[in-house]
Amino acid sequence: MIASVPASAAARATLASFRTPGLRSMTDCLFCKIVDGRIPGKIAYRDDDVVAFHDIAPQAPIHVLVVPRQHVRTFAEMTPDGPAPSVATLMAGVRRAAEHLGLTESDGYRVVVNCGERASQSVFHVHVHVLANRVFGWPPG
């Protein structure tokens, strides 16, 4: 088993300051700030729909977060007919990011979405974790 890389104290403090379930403003959103370049992030992929960046506390040798450019709080807020990006658009962006990172089905990779505080969603801008280059167990923990 590969151990995760611990985040720096500064990174943990920054993340903790943005863990606000009630957050609705794009101006206060950590991921919106990474998307628009107001704070640095290690960008792995970007296109017109999504931005993918490396997680500050990786749980696998490859661990990126794929976020829609438009602020959407949770996966549950994504609807096919609303103003938010669709699930299909987000997941197509996840696939493109995985391809860009050289990930293939034969290599295997995991795609995870946490929806809501009880599911351990830590930043309230919908995001998809893409994890790879280690063996994953089932059920997930």
Q: Which residues are catalytic?
A: 127
Amino acid present at 55 = D
Contact predicate 128/94, CB 8 Å = yes
Cα 97 to chain center, whole Å?
11
d(CA 58, CA 105): 21
* Residues 17/56/52/69 CA torsion (nearest 10 deg): 0
3-class secondary structure, 19: coil
